[in-house]
């Protein structure tokens, strides 16, 4: 009961003191608010980047493997990778048979070219030659029509599937299915369109035209790098499939025992590891800057509280003479410091969130502030106030009542 009374009275006296020194309170609040604002803005931007990167990796597929000449993360000489023997279509069947957990295998050829319909054109488009299995390896969802079929591949059919952005530009307000587009001046009949997929690692997945790979090779030639993508039925089986796939590829490509692999098996989690390494130091440095700023704000609180103790020495002496105990005085000053800090933290949190979202709106950087981060920002600022208010509070509580009453 006494503790509850002490808390209530301490809070009342603390708020009264803050109101009577408005300018000092505002300046102290601004000091701690700047620190929290800096920290929240940095954390919000970093959380947004992490969320955006995870979302984009999800679009690649966590249960997929991509086989190519080049690894996504290069640790050696580029020319050594460049001189590797190219992959071939003859590997598709052995790769499919390498494990019972492989559910789809699709080749991917790429070319840049012009796509047009009537008077509308799109230059430097990504043109892909692939197979029906690509819809399984990349979770393609059809907006209209159908995807490529085995018959399209077997008959070398001149058909095409369009990305969402291509449809918007070339066919505004028109269903493109059944129309013919010119892909580098060769006609292809549109058989389907894909639901919007967005951007993945800086590449617009909606500015694409997909052709059956035999038709693609017939138009653009066969002397180009081949990438093969596989889908695995269970994510936890991906490492096992990778091991068996490595054995299959070394055997099919006649790689000598002891020689390094002359191919690369890429997994999305490799990009996640690289991203974590690249951003880990940045995250630590940015958070350190925010914490230093918050430390400066905490020192400001300590300084102001010490000034307050000196100015209110006679008041403290009167309260002690009337029976106030040491812990009551300590509680009052700690609540005063925590109140100023919490208010500054709340304002800094609001401004920091606003800055993070403003950066997200004006730049390509994403921002995402989680509720837990907001609560932590306000709570941490109050803790900073408590920590830096301990010394002033203890100094006030340890004043000699007689000497304090003599103070002018």
* Residue pLDDT tens, the chain, 408 long: 454 545 555 555 555 655 666 666 676 677 777 777 777 777 777 777 777 776 666 666 668 888 988 887 777 677 777 888 888 899 999 999 988 999 999 999 999 999 999 889 998 889 999 999 998 888 788 999 999 999 999 999 999 999 999 999 999 988 999 999 999 989 999 999 999 887 766 677 888 999 999 999 999 988 888 999 998 888 888 889 989 999 999 998 888 888 888 888 888 777 766 777 667 777 777 777 777 777 777 777 787 777 777 766 777 777 767 666 777 777 777 777 777 777 777 777 777 777 777 777 776 666 666 677 677 767 777 777 777 777 777 777 777 666 666 655
DSSP characters over 24-59: HHHHHHHHHHHHHHHHHHHHHHHHHHHHHHHHHHHH
- Please answer whether residues 220 and 188 qualify as being in contact, where contact means their C-beta atoms are separated by less than 8 angstroms: no
**CA dihedral (122, 126, 130, 135) positive or negative:** negative
Residues 6+ apart with CB under 8 A from 254: none
Run of H or E including 9 = helix 2-20
Give the per-residue pLDDT at 7: 52
Which pTM value belongs to this model?
Answer: 0.65
**367 in the Ramachandran plot: left (φ > 0), alpha (ψ -120 to 50) or beta?**
beta
Give the per-residue pLDDT at 202: 63
Q: Which residue has the tokens 């695995």?
A: 232
Query: Using DSSP, how many helices (H) and how many strands (E) does the chain show?
Result: 14, 12
Give the per-residue pLDDT at 367: 66
Give the per-residue pLDDT at 1: 44
- Please answer whether residues 214 and 188 qualify as being in contact, where contact means their C-beta atoms are separated by less than 8 angstroms: no
Run of H or E including 142 = strand 142-145
Give the per-residue pLDDT at 20: 60
- Please answer whether residues 64 and 265 qualify as being in contact, where contact means their C-beta atoms are separated by less than 8 angstroms: no
Give the per-residue pLDDT at 376: 72
Residues 6+ apart with CB under 8 A from 357: 44, 367, 369
């Amino acid at each position: 009961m006494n503790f509850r009374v002490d808390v209530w009275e301490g809070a009342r006296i603390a708020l009264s003191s803050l109101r009577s020194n408005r300018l000092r309170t505002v300046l102290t609040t601004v000091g701690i608010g700047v620190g929290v604002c800096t920290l929240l803005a940095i954390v919000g931007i970093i959380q947004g980047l992490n969320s955006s990167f995870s979302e984009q990796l999800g679009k690649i597929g966590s249960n997929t493997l991509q086989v190519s000449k080049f690894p996504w993360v290069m640790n050696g000489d580029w020319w050594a990778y460049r001189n590797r023997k190219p992959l071939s279509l003859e590997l598709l069947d052995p790769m499919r048979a390498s494990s019972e957990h492989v559910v789809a295998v699709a080749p991917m050829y790429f070319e840049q070219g012009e796509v047009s319909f009537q008077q509308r054109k799109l230059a430097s488009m990504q043109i892909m030659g692939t197979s029906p299995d690509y819809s399984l390896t990349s979770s393609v969802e059809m907006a209209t029509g159908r995807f490529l079929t085995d018959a399209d591949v077997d008959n070398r059919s001149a058909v095409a599937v369009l990305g969402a952005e291509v449809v918007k530009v070339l066919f505004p307000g028109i269903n493109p299915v059944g129309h013919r587009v010119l892909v580098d001046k060769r006609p292809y009949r549109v058989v389907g369109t894909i639901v919007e997929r967005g951007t993945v690692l800086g590449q617009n997945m909606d500015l694409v035209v997909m052709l059956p790979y035999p038709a693609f090779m017939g138009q653009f030639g066969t002397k180009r790098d081949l990438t093969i993508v596989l889908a695995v039925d269970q994510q936890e089986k991906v490492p096992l499939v990778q091991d068996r796939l490595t054995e299959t590829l070394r055997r099919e490509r006649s790689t000598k025992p002891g020689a390094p692999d002359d191919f690369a098996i890429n997994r999305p989690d490799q990009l996640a590891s690289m991203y974590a390494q690249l951003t880990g130091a940045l995250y630590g440095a940015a958070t350190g800057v925010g914490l230093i700023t918050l430390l400066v704000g905490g020192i400001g609180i300590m300084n102001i509280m010490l000034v307050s103790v000196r100015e209110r020495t006679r008041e403290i002496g009167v309260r002690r003479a009337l029976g106030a105990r040491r812990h009551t005085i300590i509680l009052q000053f700690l609540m005063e410091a925590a109140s100023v800090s919490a208010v500054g933290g709340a304002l800094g949190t609001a401004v920091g969130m606003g800055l993070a979202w403003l950066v997200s709106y004006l730049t390509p950087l994403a921002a995402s502030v989680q509720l837990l981060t907001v609560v932590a920002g306000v709570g941490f600022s109050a803790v900073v106030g408590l920590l830096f208010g301990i010394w002033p509070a203890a100094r006030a509580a340890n004043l000699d009542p007689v000497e304090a009453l003599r103070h002018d």
